[in-house]
Amino acid sequence: MARRHLIIGGGTAGMNAMRTIREEETERSTITLVSAEKPYSRMVLPYYLDRSIAESHVFTATARVLADWGVTTHLGKRATALDTKTNVCTLDDGTAVEYDDCLIATGSSAVRAPVPGADGPGVHSFWTLEQARGVLGQIRPGSHVVMVGAGFIAFTILNSILSLGAKLTIVEVAPRILPRMIDDTGAALVQTWLEKNGVAVRTGAKLTRIDEVKGRRRLKMAAGGDLVADVVIMATGIRTNLAWLNGSEVKINQGVVVDDHLRSSVPNVYAAGDVAEGRDLISQTNAVHAIEPTAQEHGRIVGANMAGKDVRYRGSLIINIVEVCHLDVASFGAWDDAKAETMSGVKADRPAYRKLLWRGDRLTGAIILGPSTDIWTTNDVGMLKGLVQSGISLGAWKAHLKKNPFDIKPAFIATKTTSTLLPETILGRPSKAPGESPVAV
């Protein structure tokens, strides 16, 4: 069994891996963590932005916790090279760390639209804590914020920007908002909802440059109608942090290609989270899912395997859930599968929308939206996720859902989906009550 574990990246995947190694190992090993940033959760940054949590609450492990776990840390340092022949990782200060096995969990970084002025003052990304500090320091009540990009991450911070009293305009180059999360029908309903809530939305709008004019930013749009902003947030995508692996033996496609144990092409090198191209639960093909649940599950699986267990991963489910101005919007699994049989229903006045995608009598994907105040929206979000995740056979309930795609609950209960899902745990063993750790594991 490997005695010296090296974890590169202290985000969600890295933290879950370290915790799981300690839970699962039979003999105490050494763990070394190299991380460019102190461990924190990016997913809670929207709550830091709207000031509902203090900055100290974004961190996932203090120095004390890491010391209690017996982890040797190199924080604020970057891995710059991995020699998989000698099992040595080199850091940006020249330190060489030897390992028996290692985990690549270096996540992703925000990418800005390639236009002149994109790196100028007053133009921000929102991916790291430092960037969140920059945005928080600039938004004042009445500020005009222009968000470039209308993807999932942009939508996670939309409520926070509004709660700071800012005026918000969203600019999206694609013909619709949330292009990688929901379909045309859903996007049109969400856009109308946002506009009713005072958010200006421009789709099919191409930004060509950003200039500074008297301390403000002027955004030049290809079709005219330039915008003037106090703060610009570029939510224009992310890129995996893998350039440092150039020249290593590790096979990279969109991300680090991993097998069903999350091992890379080099058997003692694992990858997890945003950087890993692992199995998708529905298609059973490899994909990069840059989402929190995948990073958590990957981290758990890798941690167990590093600790000497033999845990196979069934694959990760795409889960996108966001709430904007009290409208819940979610999609699961293969929501955009053009070959699937689909059924849908719209109640434009609520607004409410359900789209169900089928392979045979199993749900393989779903889109759902509706007001958060409608209890059935919130319930259906959870039940649809459960039906897609379990892959349960719906039999005659398929015909029922075809007639009424809003009536999810009877199908969910009759097929005993809860009792199918409840015993399933990621490590294939029953969960243990909280002991030393604050949560059940």
Ligand X SMILES: Cc1cc2nc3c(=O)[nH]c(=O)nc-3n(C[C@H](O)[C@H](O)[C@H](O)COP(=O)(O)OP(=O)(O)OC[C@H]3O[C@@H](n4cnc5c(N)ncnc54)[C@H](O)[C@@H]3O)c2cc1C
**Interacting residues with ligand X (CB under 6 A):** 8-14, 34-37, 42-43, 45-46, 78-79, 105-108, 126-127, 153, 156-157, 241, 244, 273-274, 290-293, 295
Is 46 or 405 the residue whose CB approaches ligand X more closely? Answer: 46
How buried is 438 (Cβ within 10 angstroms: 0-12 exposed, 13-18 middle, 19+ buried)?
A: exposed
Q: Which is nearer to ligand X, 14 or 405 (CB)?
A: 14
CB 292 within 8 A of CB 321: no
Q: Residue 304 — φ and ψ, nearest 5°?
A: -65, -45
Rounded to an integer, what distance in angstroms lies between the CA atom of residue 125 and that of residue 119? 10
State the minimum distance, in angstroms, from the CB of residue 126 to ligand X.
6
In whole angstroms, the minimum distance from the beta carbon of 160 to ligand X comes to: 9
Residue number closest to ligand X, CB atom: 11
Q: Position 104: which residue type?
A: I
CB of residue 399 to ligand X, shortest distance in Å? 33
C-beta of 181 vs 392, nearer to ligand X:
181
Do the beta carbons of residue 166 and residue 144 sit within 8 Å?
yes
Smaller CB separation from ligand X, 168 or 346: 168
> What CA–CA distance (Å, rounded) separates 218 from 135?
18
In single-letter form, the type of residue at position 272 comes to: A
CB of 8 to ligand X, least distance (A): 5
Minimum gap (Å) between residue 223 Cβ and ligand X: 29
Contacts of 152 (CB under 8 A, 6+ apart): 178, 180, 181, 320, 322
Rg over alpha carbons for the chain, rounded to the nearest Å, is 23
202 bridge partner residues: 171
Alpha carbons 296 and 46: distance in angstroms, whole number: 19
C-alpha of 367 from chain center: 17
Q: Report the number of secondary-structure helices (H) and strands (E) in the chain.
A: 12, 26
> For residues 73 and 191, which CB has a smaller minimum distance to ligand X in the complex?
73
How deeply is 365 buried, as exposed, middle or buried, from its count of CB atoms within 10 A (0-12, 13-18, 19+)?
A: buried
Nearer to ligand X (CB atom), residue 14 or residue 117: 14
* Residue (108 or 415) nearer to ligand X, CB: 108
Give the nearest distance from C-beta 154 to ligand X in angstroms: 9
CB of 190 to ligand X, least distance (A): 16
Helix (H, G, I), strand (E, B) or coil at 350: coil
DSSP collapsed to 3 states, 259-286 = CCCCECCCCCEEECHHHEEEEECCCCCE
In angstroms, what is the minimal distance from the CB of 46 to ligand X? 5
Q: Which one, 229 or 317, has the nearer CB to ligand X?
A: 317
Q: Which is nearer to ligand X, 276 or 387 (CB)?
A: 276
CB of residue 329 vs ligand X: minimum separation in angstroms? 12
